[in-house]
Amino acid sequence: MKRILIALAVLASVQIANAQVGTQQLSPEAAAKAVESAKSAADNPKKAAKPATWLKLAEAYVNAYDAPAGNALVGSSEAEVKLMMGNDKPTSTEQVQMNGNSYVKEIFSNKNLYFSGGKLAIIEVTKPVVENPLENAYDAYKKAAEADPKGSKSKDIANGLKALNQKIVNEAYNKYGLGDLKSAEKYFGLAQEVMAEKPLSQIDTFSLYNSGFIAQQLGDLQVAKDAFEKCLKIGYAAEGGEVYSRIADVATKLDTSAAGQEVARKYLEEGFTKYPESQSILIGLINYYVSSGSNTDKLFELLDQAKAKDPKNASIYYVEGNVHSKLGETEKAIEAYKKCSEIDPNYEYGYVGEGLLYFNQAVELEKKAQDELDDKKYVALVQEFEKTLKKCVDPFEKAIEITKDDQVKSSIASYLKNICYRLQDDPDPKYKQGYEKYSAMAN
């Protein structure tokens, strides 16, 4: 799910970048003066009665939030950032590790910029122009609404709240990237409040889901469950129905009794009927039926329902193959994987599933061979290992031939590179040639 957070972070950054195009970025000094001027006007009783006064104060706080970053925009290349920053140069640069990711950290007098893969990933303000600029901007928008009983400025207030929500979401992603989960949770919560505020009155489904996601990471299980229940209530299940697998996991941890397991099962089965292609829901169901000792026939009943509903959907047979594979039913798994290409000759995952099944079997045989002390049994296991490994090649090569996804192609090529390397001493020269071919493709 980190992937979802990252994907949404990119989306939020693009939105904010687009919102900033064509605007003049204030210097921190100018932004501070603008806040003081707007605050002074808001302290005047006559001016405070006008919504425009509070709108100007809200804008001043938002500009104060933006000012330390200068013209740096998340997603920009290092070269673009240097160009946009002009004379604002870093005092030092260092390599850092955060949340399992590697960054180049550029340290400035009032901020730190973190680059990953040559792109600006995180902006960390270390010297804000004013304290709590986003929270203060929100308060100012609420004051503007109070001073506008006739709604003459409703559109301006709503647009301001929407733009503020994007800033807050961006800050939440920054905090998440920095490993400050508590602050990230707080800002995702604030983003929801801002979006729900009148006259905007909308639901921020992304922030609601991410609040639950982070609460789950922090171990705040009831908070996470409440957030996920709200998601389902409004019909938001996240990418691939992820909310169902997450709320099921939370339910089993909140209540480890049979009743808790039953609640989880209901969530998973409901999710599976709506998202039969979801691997996270499928894994949850498999784990439930296997660990609980329940009859796994229910899994296949659900799959049959999915097939009856959408008989031309090859991915359902791929899921069925994965279930058989997990249960150790090799022949049935292969049969399901082959059915994929019968239904849709351009569907690569049936071949991927078949190749992975054989590859995983080969890995297990290799482990057994390494632990075998009897020479004859060892030789027999090695021969079986090589025979099984060769079975991977044909389905993997068919998948590479079919797929239009470069990442899938590169991933399969990595498997084939590994396989061909292990089989280089085989009399058939195709494996040595294959190693060279798939090494280049994987790279």
Model pLDDT for residues 287-323, shown as the tens digit of each residue: 787 677 677 787 788 888 878 888 888 988 998 898 8
| pLDDT value at 20 more than 50 | no
pLDDT for residue 95: 95
pLDDT for residue 110: 95
pLDDT for residue 322: 87
**Share of residues in the chain with pLDDT > 70 (%):** 94
Each residue's pLDDT tens digit, 235-254: 999 988 999 999 999 999 99
pLDDT for residue 19: 41
pLDDT for residue 293: 66
| pLDDT value at 6 more than 70 | no
| pLDDT value at 425 more than 90 | no
Residue matched to tokens 């983003």: 191
Each residue's pLDDT tens digit, 174-213: 999 999 999 999 999 999 999 999 999 999 999 999 999 9
pLDDT for residue 15: 40
| Residue 187 near residue 172, CB atoms below 8 Å | yes
| pLDDT value at 420 more than 70 | yes
Taking CA atoms, 59 is separated from 31, 62, 131, in Å, by 10, 5, 15
Distance CA 275, CA 237 (A): 10
Exposure on the CB side of residue 409, measured as CA atoms within 13 A: 11
Each residue's pLDDT tens digit, 60-104: 999 999 999 988 889 999 999 999 888 889 999 999 998 888 999
The residue ranking higher by pLDDT, 8 or 61, is: 61
Please choose, from the candidates 357, 276, 273, the residue with its C-alpha nearest in 3D space to the C-alpha of residue 313: 276
What mean pLDDT is predicted for residues 353-360? 96
What mean pLDDT is predicted for residues 341-359? 94
Residue matched to tokens 């807050």: 168
Q: Report the largest interatomic distance among the alpha carbons of the chain, rounded to a whole angstrom.
A: 97
pLDDT for residue 22: 34
Distance CA 315, CA 5 (A): 25
Exposure on the CB side of residue 72, measured as CA atoms within 13 A: 30
Question: Which helix (H) or strand (E) element contains residue 39?
Answer: helix 28-42
pLDDT for residue 326: 85
Q: How many residues are there in the chain?
A: 443
pTM score: 0.70
Each residue's pLDDT tens digit, 391-415: 999 999 999 999 998 889 999 999 9
